[in-house]
Structure 1
Amino acid sequence: MYRIRVIFLFALFVFITNQSLSQNSSLRKELRPKLMKIVNSYKATVGIGLIHIETGDSLDVNNHIRFPMLSVYKFPLALAVLDLVDKGDLKLDQIYHVKKSDLIDDTWSPLKKEFPEGEVDLTIAQLLDYSVSQSDNIACDILFSLAKGTQSVNEYIHGIGIQGMDIQATEHEMQADWKILYTNWSKPMQMSHLLEGLYRQKYLSDSSNAFLMKLMIESSNDPARIKALLPEGTIVAHKTGTSDRRGNIYDACNDVGIIFLPDGTHLALSVFVSKSEEDYDTTRKLIAEISKAVYDFYSAN
């Protein structure tokens, strides 16, 4: 009986392995050429990190490049803050008094638009909502201060096993000098591994994990990127990041997220676009086309 069980398990292992190898072969032969055709059609440097979470199939493009994250880094920041909540160092209902001096000028901030004079009490949960769901730069920097700075957040991310990523500067510091935005970088596959870890609930308590997923699913982050060409109603938990245009260049136009597929499986997809000579809408369209190609491939296989 023991021998039969061993033979059965070995046969099952071979079957699963062969299925995975077959799928990875399909990725190389079918999906990669489609993605490269899209990438090569645009005047931009493009990085892609793709993981099919349930099977572990993966594909990357330009994973050796350090892409500037811009506001995508509000996702790893949120992980670090929620880790402090899980440890009891912070509380979601903890109040932070937003002072007028917190409201820096010339930056994206729905918070400042809503409370132009500041002097308002907000919970950490509300600050996370502003930062992750609305990409608010002022809320982001307040959260960095509550998390004891960018270095502490960076150490947290490296401590959970994500090495191909670095967080060095606040939004205010990036605003002061455009070159500083390149100090907040990620390789595409490392960001997708972080997304995979979020989905698998590797980092946070169940309640904190569910809260962050909700913020990313229900966010007002730009729908004209990963979500744009997917079937209506497709669930995507995502975070965008965008630089200003510098001359005829966008240093960054990004979107990273978890795509829910019709068969109940999930994709972690990170698309980083740097040094784009295309206009804003065309650059976003590039991300949408990559997402659609990936979605269509997995929906048909």
Structure 2
Amino acid sequence: MRIMKLTSVLAAGAMALGLPVGVQAQSAGSQDAGYTAQFDQLLGTEVRAPQSFDAVYDSHLEKTLASLADGSRGRIGVYAIDLTTGREVGVLEDQRFPMASTSKVAVAAVYLAGVDAGKWSLTSEWRLPRRGGAYLTGLEHLNLMISKSCNACTDALLDAVGGPAAVNKWMRDAGISEFQLTRDIATLVREDGRIDPASSVDVRDSATPRAMGQLLAGIYQGKWLSQSSRAVLMDAMRATTTGKKRMRSALPTSAGLAHKTGTLSRTASDIGIFHTPDGRPIAVAIYVTGQSSSMAAENGNRARKLEARQMRDARISTITGALYRGFSNPDDNRRVWADADYGG
């Protein structure tokens, strides 16, 4: 059984007990004293044992990730899995983060599953949800939704498949529970900024990095979609033009990155699949919040806002680079996770 990292234990415990979830993705020795005291009082000190950083993260790559995902200025969640060996690594991988536009991958998967079931087709036309909105084919909506992150196209397909409830049901049926889509994109954008994702967990329109990594893995491996539908989605993800300073900036062209970015107030994310030099596909989900002193400081100054956005992008890029090197290096001291769910 995989060892759960200390920060994930604390985060999961806080949510279950209704405590404030301002969890910092830090090493065990630097957890906030008051926060730790709450756990000691309610759960006992044994919940946090052992305190050793080396004992909590059991591979060199995980220790590197934990260092890069320092949460002193916000929460950072990372999950990655080698789809050939089943080896997985993560930091706060079971804590909820705002999906932002990374949820569009799930919407696309549900639409394509409907194509496979004969409910509609790639040539079915759907109207953009705005005054005078044009009719586009399902394929046009999907390509724009993924590669250009078109919000109106997303809401058109979201309405076509039956709304957030239909997407949630499809995800549950696929065996992915830590995912919840609540609002359409127009509403999500309109209400953005009301909750600071760096210090709070809002389960609306959220998912865990592990859940999104599992979604990518299943899509890539053809678990839920036909070969042609899988190809449509993967091609759209390879054509993504957003977030050039995130995953894409850390990887060589040969890695064949297929990804989808997400951006909201004080949060940036990137989920995707890249390949190691020997051809192994790696599914990755990275969610970064905060990185500036406060929401007020970031929103009150355009220069600070831009600087914070660049810092979030840089975090994603640096973590991606570490993952690429860590999974590519055959000499890394790694543990292989043999899980039937991640077959070739």
2:80/2:90 contact within 8 Å kept: yes
Deviation for aligned residue 1:274: 2.1
1:169 aligned to which of 183, 200, 209: 183
- 2:261 aligned residue: 240
State whether structure 2 residue 286 is matched by structure 1 residue 271: yes
Q: Deviations over 1:98-140 (max 9, x none)?
A: 4xxx23xxxxxxxxxxxxx745331010000111111011111
1:148 aligns with 2:177: no
Partner of 2:302: none
Q: Paired residues, what number?
A: 254
Counterpart code for 1:141? D
- Structure 1 stretches of at least 4 aligned residues deviating more than 3 Å after TM superposition: 179-182
Rounded Cα–Cα distance in structure 1 between residues aligned with 2:268 and 2:121: 33
Tell me if the contact between 1:44 and 1:274 (Cα under 8 Å) persists in the aligned partners.
Answer: yes
| TM alignment of 1:154-193, pairs within 5 A | 154-178=168-192, 179=194, 182-193=203-214
- 1:283 counterpart (296, 307, 312): 312
- SS of the residue corresponding to residue 71 of structure 1 reads helix
Report the alpha carbon displacement of residue 299 of structure 1 after superposing the two structures with TM: 1.7
Q: CA deviation at 1:276?
A: 3.4
- What is the aligned partner in structure 2 of residue 3 from structure 1? none
Residues 75 and 127 of structure 1: CA distance in aligned 2, closer, same or farther (over 3 Å) = same
Q: Aligned AA for 1:85?
A: V
Cα 1:120/1:41, change in 2 over 3 Å:
closer
Q: 2:235, 2:72 → 1: CA distance?
A: 33
Partner of 1:215: 236
Structure 2 letter corresponding to 1:253 = A
CA contact (8 A) 1:221 1:238 kept: no
Contact 1:195/1:268 (8 A) holds in 2: yes
Provide structure 1 residue ranges, at least 5 long, that are not aligned to the other structure.
1-24, 104-116, 245-249
CA distance in 2, matches of 1:221, 1:75: 14
Q: What TM-score results when the alignment is normalised by the length of structure 1? A: 0.80
The correspondence of residues 65-144 of structure 1 with structure 2, limited to 5 A, is: 65-98=95-128, 102-103=129-130, 118-144=132-158
The percentage of aligned residue pairs carrying the same residue is 28
2:174 counterpart letter in structure 1: I
Unaligned runs of 5+ in 2: 1-54, 196-201, 293-306, 331-344
Contact kept? 2:102, 2:262, Cα under 8 Å: yes
Task: Answer with 32-41 or 255-264: which moved more.
Answer: 32-41
Counterpart CA distance in 2 for 1:153 and 1:202 is 16
CA RMSD of aligned residues (A): 1.9
- How many Å separate the matches in 2 of 1:182 and 1:95? 33
Structure 1 counterpart of 2:315, one-letter code? L
Q: Is the 8 A contact 1:229 1:292 kept in 2?
A: yes
